[in-house]
Chains A and B, each alone.
Chain A
């Protein structure tokens, strides 16, 4: 090994040790002082950290899946991995067709035949979370969509894209409320949600927090003065997994 390779190897080793928290505090501090203004090193650290975090998620989900199912799992085909990364829509994707919304279903180990449209998601046995998109684009005057979700042991997230060119949809914050259909009682309210940098709203309904049943939901825009405008209403059905 020549000197450059040796230096490179040492540098790699430091990055690994730092990311895996294998340094003493003194060593870590010394390394932090070195890399604080070193953009190339920071980029290497960011990549190493992401890789490590991704491997941890895979390892956690594999363990959970094996423990829960205790059966062989089907590995998704290579080509399908490309379709499953959740992408936030760019400006040229404002009118997002529903088939592409289906691609927001996030799975880790999932047979291809289980992929369905976002509006009627069949059982997804292996997915750690489920993301369902609500289309806002045609909300005024259009029929409200009914979302049907199987009640499984997964974290349920509803997402929606706000077209910021439509000023009537843009508010400082938003509320999401879920009402029981039979008595109109509010069962869950998520308040003061802001748009993220990709103009997306995410409503985290949690894991097993909503019982089976029929619900309707509303998304409300709130002004700083406390005025409310209903932007979207729809139906949500949560039923037992088949």
Chain B
């Protein structure tokens, strides 16, 4: 997806919506929904809250696009992201959270309201990851993953400690993610 393509598609969508094309509204949501949900779930660390915020975001985006309030249609994605972030920040300011902070961006709220389904999904994910780790035949690869993801050590420090170069480091992570994806898809298909 090039920036030019995205600009053109975004501009066309906005124009169609402003002409009253209801299909264009559905197309817009279909195009950006997955990305918006991922962004909100990542920032909020709370799936339920993220889903609510996403709905509210779409309500506002549609209202503003229909009302010709978007100044630069080619930057529709940026518009949606900003609305989503604003809605999330407003929900923190209004909600009864345990932590209250002035700078929202410094705090990663903990999802303390995990439902059983979410608990199971978390643990299933962990089992698949465990399978992945068991498959890694090179102990150094396992150590790299744990040091990077869990101990959050600096990439350079890990490379130095394990005598790896940058390229090798990236390849290990890329292979691990690729294999994890295959394992995950296999378990979900069963």
Contacts and interface: CB of A to CB of B under 8 A. Distances in A.
How big is chain A's contact interface, by range? 35 or more
B116 A159 contact: yes
Interface stretch (A40-48, A138-146, A177-185, A212-220): A40-48
Given A36-B81, A47-B180, A48-B177, A55 B35 contact: no
A86 interface: yes
Interface string A33-54: 1111111001011111111111
A119 to B, nearest CB: 19
B125 interface: yes
21 contacts: A25-B105, A37-B6, A37-B31, A37-B32, A38-B35, A42-B38, A47-B177, A54-B128, A54-B180, A55-B129, A58-B133, A59-B146, A61-B126, A81-B131, A85-B128, A86-B120, A106-B120, A108-B126, A128-B123, A129-B120, A202-B117
A85 B127 contact: yes
Interface in A195-212: 196, 200, 202-204
Given A36-B32, A38-B1, A196-B117, A82 B131 contact: yes
Contact of B119 (A50, A78, A155): A155
Interface string A122-165: 00000011010000000000000000000000010101000000
Interface in B126-155: 126-134, 145-146, 148-150, 152
Contacts of A87: 187, 190
Contacts of B152: 20
Interface string A93-109: 00000000000001010
Contacts of B50: none
Contacts of B134: 78, 81
A35 B31 CA distance: 11
Contact of B187 (A21, A85, A196): A85
B16 interface: no
B11 to A, nearest CB: 13
User: What secondary structure prevails in chain B residues at the interface with A?
Assistant: helix
Interface of A: 1, 5, 8-9, 12-13, 16, 18-21, 25, 29, 32-39, 42, 44-59, 61, 78, 81-82, 84-87, 106, 108, 128-129, 131, 155, 157, 159, 196, 200, 202-204
B53 interface: no
Interface string B30-44: 011011101100100
Instruction: Name which of A57, A61, A128 has the most chain B CB atoms within 10 A of its CB.
Output: A57
B184 interface: yes
A1 B167 contact: yes
Nearest to A57: B126
Interface in B57-79: 77-78
Contacts of A38: 1, 35
